[in-house]
Amino acid sequence: MTIDGHTRLFGILGDPVEHSLSPAMHNAAFAHLGVNGVYVPMRPADLADGYRGLRSLGFVGVSVTVPFKVAIMDHLDAVDPVARKIGAVNTLLFERSGTAVRCTGSNTDWLGANRALAEVLDPAGRTVLVIGAGGAARAVGFGLVEAGARVLVTNRTEAKGRDLAAQLDCPFIPAAELAQVRADALINTTSVGMAPRTDSLPIDPNLLTHFSVVMDIVYAPLETRLLREAAARGCRTVDGLKMLQYQGAAQFSLWTGREAPDAVMRQALLTALGINHL
């Protein structure tokens, strides 16, 4: 890839951001399609100063990750309606006309989650249990509601779980009552099972037979213990790299107006994780 005076600027804002797989994914897509663009990780010392820098330096598109997904909303010219409902932005689009700059924030996390699940199960009219009540759970939950699913929420901290359930207008299921739950799919939106604590589980594995599909947003390791236990019980599984890939594909299309090269982006993510093939 040649970087020159016409190279379009993209990147990701986060803290920390060194571990992000997004640069590998997006730069591979740019190279494959011949887009003269570069995507870089950025860790601003101050969010407001960093955002002003993006506006003045000519950035086209930026991903936003923790801890800035909520705080960035105060600086934007516009936020799309779904991102406003979710209460978080993970994607910025800068549109320029002469010296004028307009930045719109959106959220592609829900699009990535819905697309990943839809590969094995159309969420419309289905019942889905969401484990967790953090930012990822909000995006996944609101996305499922948008897709016409019936959502159930469970969470270790009951107060946070009930708060999210109220916002989604859906039932909250206490941990003690999970044995009575039957649903079409289960989605783990927590970090339980992420390296280095790979033996951890967000739910009693004996309850996994109550679900046809089990999806985990954790992607390190790619096959979490939750997914192994689910597969052993006959469930169809969806790994966390799918959501990361598809939310990135939605960003790519928004920024470039072109269809994202899914296979190229998937392989770039696998390579970044040190996985040569599946």
Helix H, strand E, coil C: the string for 180-216 is HCCEEEEEECCCCCCCCCCCCCCCCHHHHHHEEEEEE
Whether a cis peptide bond, with omega within 30° of 0, leads into 16 is yes
Contact 82, 141 (CB under 8 A): no
- Chain-centroid distance of CA 54 in Å reads 22
* Interhelix angle 240-256/109-118, nearest 10 degrees: 120
For residue 131, the surrounding DSSP H or E stretch is strand 127-131
From CA 111, how far away is CA 80, in angstroms rounded? Answer: 13
- Choosing from 69, 85, 160, 242, which is the catalytic residue? 69
**Rounded to the nearest 5°, which phi and psi values hold at 43?**
-120, 90
Burial of 18 (0-12, 13-18, 19+ CB in 10 A): exposed
Residue 130 backbone phi and psi in degrees, to 5: -105, 125
Q: Is 85 a catalytic residue?
A: no
Tell me the C-alpha to C-alpha distance, in Å, between residue 134 and each of 17, 88, 160: 19, 11, 8
Paired tokens of 43 = 């860790």
Would you please indicate which residues are annotated as catalytic (active-site) residues? 69
